[in-house]
Amino acid sequence: MKVIVTVCIKEQDKLLIIQEGIPKAYGLWNFPGGHLYTTESIIKGALREAKEETGFDVELTGILSIQRSLLKENIVRIVFNAKKIGGHIHYNRNEILDCKWVTIEELEKKDINTLRVSPTFLDIVEDIKNNKNYPLEIIKFFK
């Protein structure tokens, strides 16, 4: 099974979104995340992806959702809630085109369908609006 970790970084009422620069998702807006390395834990992978794609150190505060890919078999996405605890915006411009803070209201005011978002983006936004936050201990079932 391939595991993808995604991090929803929150600061006050804002969320951090990134614009993808990699060829298969070029220009799409998304939440920071990526594939888990086979040698790392799910938690360490989420912390690494947040740092690589945003420059921020984060504290994972819970799990927003766990999703199974409907497009590909054997892929699970674990979406974490997180808060920024250090660092500053810094990212590899070959992989990330832009990085910005937005509110849920700003996302809703823009026609989100014209924002060019990743396939899972809308599901994550809906979970954020519903204040989902499951305990991190759920991860122990994914060893």
Q: pTM of the full predicted structure?
A: 0.90
pLDDT of residue 71: 67
Tell me the average pLDDT across 7-32: 94
Whether the Cβ atoms of residue 10 and residue 131 lie closer than 8 Å to each other? no
The domain segmentation of the chain, as residue ranges, is: 2-137
Q: Is the pLDDT of residue 113 over 60?
A: no
Which percentage of the chain shows pLDDT scores above 70?
93
Q: So what's the pLDDT on residue 122?
A: 83
- CATH homologous superfamily of domain 2-137? Nucleoside Triphosphate Pyrophosphohydrolase (3.90.79.10)
pLDDT in tens, 33-78: 999 998 999 999 999 999 999 999 999 999 999 988 766 678 889 9
Share of the chain above pLDDT 90, in %: 68
- The encoded tokens of residue 140 equal 């122990």
**CB of 96 within 8 A of CB of 31?**
no
Asked if residue 112 has pLDDT above 60, the reply is no
38 three-class SS: coil
Tokens 């674990």, residue located: 78
Residue 143 has pLDDT above 60, yes or no: no
Reply yes or no on whether the pLDDT at 9 is more than 80: yes
